[in-house]
């Protein structure tokens, strides 16, 4: 269903507001560079600090700019089930291909609570759902058993796995089957994840290296391992630099160096430090994104 390099889109800001023109230009550039899919309003898009109106507008802008050229997987998660249902219903009405729904943060639901949360969204929204399992941000970790239970529902179609546990995709594949769409949430181990049963990556680095990330995934799918591994190695300094401070601070600064947007973030995030700026710039030069 979904595969390859799927970018976790940043949300450009200018003077405190969403820079709509910069965002749509950025989306168009991503598609022209070969990105296989788009995720607006995820963690990288600073969804926790978007108002509901902004969230809906960003999804609509992304779908409009994509123009059906690649699928849009709208971030619609919340720690409130009713809010997640409302956002997912909106994504469906706007024309999204699927929704990316994060495990509820702060509430710390049990495995049964996780199941009932996702089932309620599934039953109410009528849109394919990719579970976003990221214990480092949400504190809770969906078990493979709970995911297998959810996968029995027709519109629970896959997972974005940001556990950094490379045994997890193989266990999931064995438990659920190869038709369940497994996407990595960790750039640095994206190809290793594919080798364990994955089919792509929802990527932060693709914000600034869309062509290279897409080419790496294309090479994997075609069996050109020499090219794939060369690109994997080339991109590693960038992957590291994108997380030397809390994301999306570093990737926004990197995008600003390419002239794609400002490096403005919203509180409680702050612009990255001078040391991080140097690390990011050096990585981009090493990878070949800057001279």
Annotated catalytic residue: which of 17, 105, 160, 253?
160
Annotated catalytic residue: which of 17, 106, 115, 132?
132
At CB < 8 A and 24+ separation, what contacts does 174-179 make? 175/144, 175/145, 175/147, 175/148, 176/147, 176/148, 176/151
CA angle, 129 as apex, 203 and 74 as ends, to 5°?
50
Backbone phi, psi, residue 121, to 5°: -65, -45
Contact 72, 63 (CB under 8 A): yes
- Tokens 């979904």 map to which residue? 2
Pair of tokens at residue 206: 């693709």
The DSSP symbol for 273 reads P
* Annotation says 105 is catalytic: no
* Annotation says 132 is catalytic: yes
Cα–Cα distance measured from residue 62 to residue 235, given in angstroms and rounded to the nearest whole number: 26
Q: Which residues are catalytic?
A: 132, 160
């Amino acid at each position: 269903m979904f595969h390859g390099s799927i970018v976790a889109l940043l949300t450009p800001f200018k003077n405190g507001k969403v820079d709509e023109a910069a965002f749509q230009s950025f989306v168009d550039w991503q598609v022209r560079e070969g990105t296989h899919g788009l995720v607006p309003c995820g963690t990288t898009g600073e969804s926790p600090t978007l108002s509901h109106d902004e969230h809906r507008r960003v999804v609509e802008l992304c779908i409009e700019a994509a123009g059906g050229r690649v699928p849009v997987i709208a971030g619609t998660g919340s720690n409130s089930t009713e809010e997640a249902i409302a956002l997912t219903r909106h994504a469906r009405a706007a024309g999204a291909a699927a929704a990316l729904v994060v495990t509820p943060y702060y509430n710390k639901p049990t495995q049964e609570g996780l199941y009932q949360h996702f089932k309620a969204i599934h039953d109410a929204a009528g849109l394919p759902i990719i579970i976003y399992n990221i214990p480092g941000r949400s504190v809770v970790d969906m078990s493979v058993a709970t995911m297998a239970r959810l996968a029995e529902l027709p519109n629970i179609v896959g997972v974005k796995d940001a556990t950094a546990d490379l045994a997890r995709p193989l266990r999931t594949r064995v438990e659920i089957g190869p038709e369940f769409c497994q996407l990595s949430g960790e750039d640095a181990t994206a190809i290793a994840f594919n080798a364990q049963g994955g089919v792509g990556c929802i990527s932060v680095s693709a914000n600034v290296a869309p062509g290279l990330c897409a080419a790496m995934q294309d090479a994997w799918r075609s069996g050109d391992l020499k090219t794939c591994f060369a690109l994997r190695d080339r991109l590693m300094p960038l992957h590291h630099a994108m997380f030397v401070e809390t994301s999306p601070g570093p990737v926004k600064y990197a995008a600003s160096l390419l002239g794609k947007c400002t490096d403005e973030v919203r509180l409680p995030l702050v612009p990255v430090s001078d040391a991080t700026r140097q690390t990011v710039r050096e990585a981009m030069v090493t990878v070949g994104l800057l001279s």
